[in-house]
Structure 1
């Protein structure tokens, strides 16, 4: 993986699954993931880590119990550890996530939106 250039647009065009993050790079103990989002996710939290959302395209609302945050292309937001949140995308959103390796996308929740780890783009 050393010296590999990751083209965000090209990689995002290579898959269509929603809510299924793809690991595209690793930095120390962190994974850089690309994901396509559409519709409403599940309410969940990550007790052990913050979660960074960077919107590449579209508009993403991150619902939290004490208020919503709306992100547009080129904006990022860090959900602090332990904060319950629910991402919502009215149309397709393309985003990058940065989080420690092995973090489950649904945090403390389980169900059909829990994605398996996909590092096939490394």
Structure 2
């Protein structure tokens, strides 16, 4: 197998085409993990993942990561990993946030009503 320019994923172009308030889609799979792009202009719901950590890498805008009792603010180029079983939610600050997430392909998401 060989690689070509068709295998290049342009994050800016992919993000520019999103017009929904929230979009989350797979970009690539690596072994048993998936690399996703999340584009958000509104809050995501509180949840946790019982079987996978979740890594966030901010590409555009500011991402707020809420956990019980604290809010962390991530800027473009910053990354954080949320361990499995930690309740959290993500939300954009100031309009729009574009993020790369890396997680187990078979990750389970459990919604928490608050």
TM-score exceeds 0.5 = yes
Compare CA radii of gyration and give the structure with the larger one. 2
Q: How many residues align?
A: 108
Name 1:101's counterpart in structure 2: 105
Structure 2 portions without partners, runs of 5+: none
1:42 aligned residue (24, 41, 45) = 45
Query: Higher mean Cα deviation, 8-17 or 50-59?
Result: 8-17
TM-score between the two structures when normalised by the length of structure 1: 0.80
Q: What is the CA distance between 1:110 and its match in structure 2?
A: 7.8
Name 1:82's counterpart in structure 2: 85
CA 102–13 in structure 1, closer or farther in 2 if over 3 Å, else same: farther
TM-score between the two structures when normalised by the length of structure 2: 0.85
When you count strand as a share of all residues, which structure comes out higher?
A: 2
- Alignment RMSD (CA, Å): 1.9
Please state if 1:53 is matched with 2:72: no
Name 1:17's counterpart in structure 2: 20
Structure 1 portions without partners, runs of 5+: 112-122
* Structure 1 ranges of 4+ moved more than 6 A: none
